[in-house]
A and B are shown apart, each in its own frame.
Chain A
C-alpha cells in the first residue's frame, strides 16, 4: 500500500476522535462514583445496579425497545415494498409520497400526527408512537432498498421468470436475497431512528407512555445522574451487537 501523507492521517484521526471521544466519555463516566458526574471520583458499578432497580428507567427503555422493534419490522416490510415499486415502476408520485416524510421537519410531522390521531379518536399510547415511527421510517428503508436495486442486474430476475418462476418466486428467491444487505441496512437505520427519536415521540406519546429519550430529557432540568450514562452505554452495546449480527448475516453489507 502506498504511504499516505501524515496530514491525511491526522485529519482522519481528528475526524474519528471527534466522533468517538464523546461516546467514550459517556461510557467511562457511567462507572464514576459521583452523583454529580462532574469530575472523576472513583470506579463503581453502582449506577448499573441502581439502573436495574429503577423501574421508571427500565420501563422507558423497554418501551423504546418494543417500539423500535415493531417500527423497524413493519417499516422494513413496507419500505422494501415501496423501494421495489419505486425502482420497478418508476412511479414519480409514489417516490414523492414515500420520501416526503424524510424531508418534512420533525416538529411539523409530530404535531400533524398528533392532530390526526386525535381526530381518529385513537388512544395515544405506545401504539400511536409505533405508528408514527413506522410512518417516518418507511422512507429511509425505501431509499436504501432502491439504491441497492439500482446496483442489481435486472436480467437475473428476468432469467428466473424465463425459467418458469412466478413473480413471487422470482422476488423471493432471486431479488430479495440480492437486496438483503440493503434491507438489513434499512432495518438497522429504522431501528436507530426510532429508538432515539424525541420530537415526534413527544407529540404522539400519550399519558404514561415514556420512552428513553423522553425520560432522559425530563431529567435534564433536575440533574442527569450517571444512571443515564449507564443506560446509554447499554444501548450502545445493543447497537454494536446489532451491527455485528447484521454483518454476520450479510457479510457483503459492509464490503463491496
Chain B
C-alpha cells in the first residue's frame, strides 16, 4: 500500500509541476495558426497551453459548474452575453490593448457587450449555402437564395443531396430570413410559418447534419448544404487536395444570413490576467489575426489584417461581405426561457414528423 501511495504522490507531483509561465487558452479546435502560437510564445517567453471545446454550450456548462484555470476563452457573442450575466468574466483593461483600434468599429459596442467591457472580436463566420459547382450548375439551380434549400420547386431536383445544420437556432434563422423576417424574430405566428416551411422541405433533405457535412461535400455525396462559411472553405480545400473534378463554393443568400462573431474574453479566475491581455493585444495585430483567416477561411473584423490576407479569400463575399450585405446579416440573440421551451417543442415536432 505504501508503494502505491508514494507512486500516486509522485504521479501527482509530476502532473502539477510546471515552472514556465503559462497562458491557458480555452479555444475551438484548429482556431489559431500554429505559427502564431509559436511567435507569441517567443515574444512573451511563456507557453501557450490550449484546451478545446466544440460547442459554446460545452464551455458554458463547464464554467457554470465552477471549472477554472483558464485565462482566455473564445466564445460566440451570445455566449459572451450569457457569461457576462453569469458573472464569469473579468473586465478587460483597454489601456493594455492599444491594438484594439485595428478592429472595424462595426463590430464594436454591440448589444451583446455594450462598450466592449469584457470582450474583443476575434474572428467570425457566416451561415450560408455551400454547393458543388459542377452538379448545381448542371441542374441550373440558384445559389443566392434560401429558396434552394426551402422551396420544393428547387430542392426536389436535388432530393437526398441536401443537408441542413442540426441546430434549431440556425435552421429557424434561415427559414425566418427566407420568409422575410428577422433571424431574431420571436413572434409565435412567424415561427409557425417557419415550421411549416421546414416541414414541407424536410422530405427532400438527406439529413440534419452539423458535423460530417464537410466530408460529404468533399466526397460528392452531398451537393448543397446549409452550413458555416469556414466549413465550406475547408471542404473546398479538401476537395482540391484530393483532386476532385469539382469545387465547393459559397452561396450568399440575398435574403440575409446569420453572422457569428467569436470574441476573446478573460475568465474571472484567470491565473494570469497579465498574459491574457498580452495575448489579446497580440491577436489584435493585423498579421497575427490574418494568419487565422488564411488558415481556415474565417471572416476577420480586423482592418489591419486585410493586407495580409490571401486575395482569393478577401474577394469571397461569403467571407468578407460587402456593405449592403452587412446590413442583412444578423447575430443570433439568446432566447428567454419561455421562448426556448416553445422553440424546443417546435423543433421536436419538426424532427419527429415523418
Contact = CB atoms under 8 A, between A and B. Distances in A.
Contacts of A210: 51-52
Contacts of B71: 207
Interface stretch (A19-27, A142-150, A181-189, A212-220): A212-220
Nearest to A110: B65
B221 to A, nearest CB: 9
Contacts, number: 107
Given A74-B8, A208-B51, A223-B214, A114 B219 contact: no
Interface string A185-228: 00000000000000000110111111000110111111100000
A246 interface: no
A124 B71 CA distance: 14
A111 to B, nearest CB: 6
Contacts of B215: 36, 38, 223
A118 interface: yes
A208 B218 contact: no
A209 B69 CA distance: 10
Given A35-B242, A222-B30, A223-B238, A114 B15 contact: no
A70 interface: yes
A205 B51 contact: yes
B68 interface: yes
Contact of B54 (A34, A124, A221): A221
Given A125-B15, A207-B24, A217-B54, A223 B234 contact: yes
Given A35-B238, A130-B11, A222-B234, A111 B65 contact: yes
B2 to A, nearest CB: 11
Contact of A123 (B8, B22, B26, B69): B69
Contacts of B106: none
B24 A221 contact: no
Nearest to B267: A207
Contacts of B58: 202
Given A218-B52, A218-B54, A223-B234, A124 B29 contact: no
Given A73-B4, A74-B8, A208-B51, A34 B69 contact: no
A162 interface: no
Main secondary structure on A side of the interface with B: helix
Given A218-B29, A222-B30, A118 B66 contact: yes
Given A36-B242, A73-B4, A220 B54 contact: yes
A123 B17 CA distance: 12
Interface string B58-91: 1000100111111100000000000000000000
Interface residues of A, number: 40
Contacts of B219: 36, 38-39
A77 interface: yes
Nearest to B49: A208
Contacts of A36: 215, 218-219, 238, 242
B69 A207 contact: yes
Given A36-B238, A218-B53, A219-B29, A74 B69 contact: no
Contacts of A205: 51
A205 B15 CA distance: 12
B70 A207 contact: yes
Contacts of A222: 29-30, 214, 234
B265 to A, nearest CB: 14
B66 A70 contact: no
Contacts of A208: 22, 24, 49-51, 69
B16 interface: yes
Nearest to B62: A203
A253 interface: no
Interface string B26-69: 10111000000000000000000111111000100010011111
B12 interface: yes
Among A34, A203, A222: residue with most chain B CB under 10 A:
A222
A121 to B, nearest CB: 10
Contacts of A124: 67-69
Given A73-B7, A124-B68, 11 more contacts: A66-B15, A70-B11, A74-B8, A118-B67, A118-B68, A123-B16, A124-B67, A202-B62, A205-B51, A207-B68, A221-B54
Interface of B: 1, 4, 7-8, 11-12, 14-16, 22, 24, 26, 28-30, 49-54, 58, 62, 65-71, 211, 214-215, 218-219, 234, 238, 241-242
Which 10 A-B pairs give the minimum distances between C-beta atoms? A118-B66, A218-B52, A207-B69, A208-B49, A207-B24, A126-B15, A218-B29, A38-B219, A206-B69, A114-B65
